Chains A and B, each alone.
Chain A
Amino acid sequence: NAGVTQTPKFRVLKTGQSMTLLCAQDMNHEYMYWYRQDPGMGLRLIHYSVGEGTTAKGEVPDGYNVSRLKKQNFLLGLESAAPSQTSVYFCASTILGRGSKDEQFFGPGTRLTVL
């Protein structure tokens, strides 16, 4: 099992450029999440998905879009990158069934810099 994987690991963008971050999990998890991590602020939820074809907004969704076309993949898109989106992005997943008792499994992160 690879667990949760993220591509790319690093990326530098110019303001206004677009990109897509890919998250993949091979644990057959139903729920998937995108967080951003900024110094002194912990992790904040951007968007999440409770199943294939469904997505919902988290705490800081502005400037991001997501899609969950396949159960194992969760894509995070930046249509027009801004310097404020410079951050480390983490994807996580958890199994359906026991609700919020279940731990989330995290990917290794994507470090994004927007110039």
Chain B
Amino acid sequence: AQSVTQLGSHVSVSEGALVLLRCNYSSSVPPYLFWYVQYPNQGLQLLLKYTSAATLVKGINGFEAEFKKSETSFHLTKPSAHMSDAAEYFCAVSGSNTGKLIFGQGTTLQVKP
């Protein structure tokens, strides 16, 4: 069975500060991991994905995430937050050949001026 836990349902940072969104996963098979972003009243958009190549993955809009097998983590970071980063972020894991995604509960990122 697979599961995802996102620590912190709400994260608030100041503009220009480091963004750190936490994701821990559980998987009985080698996982593929994804971060999606959802802007208000929109669908989900892929930020980045880990598919067993490099453990440090770079995505769009300056985000990156590091896969740490020993910690079963895939935390999302961005060195300097921008107002436009305010959104909800979802971590997801996939490991089956049907491509089904298991999502975390989401983290809302607030960016203060």
Contacts and interface: CB of A to CB of B under 8 A. Distances in A.
B96 interface: yes
A61 interface: no
B45 interface: yes
Nearest to A107: B43
B51 interface: yes
A94 interface: yes
Given A40-B105, A42-B104, A108-B43, A100 B90 contact: no
A69 B9 CA distance: 39
Interface of B: 4, 6, 9, 32, 34, 36, 41-46, 49, 51, 90, 92, 94-101, 103-106
Interface of A: 4, 31, 33, 35, 40-45, 48, 50, 56, 58, 90, 92, 94, 99-104, 106-109
25 contacts: A40-B9, A40-B106, A42-B105, A42-B106, A43-B44, A43-B92, A45-B100, A48-B98, A50-B98, A58-B100, A92-B44, A94-B99, A99-B97, A99-B99, A100-B95, A100-B98, A100-B99, A101-B32, A101-B49, A102-B99, A103-B34, A103-B49, A104-B46, A106-B43, A108-B43
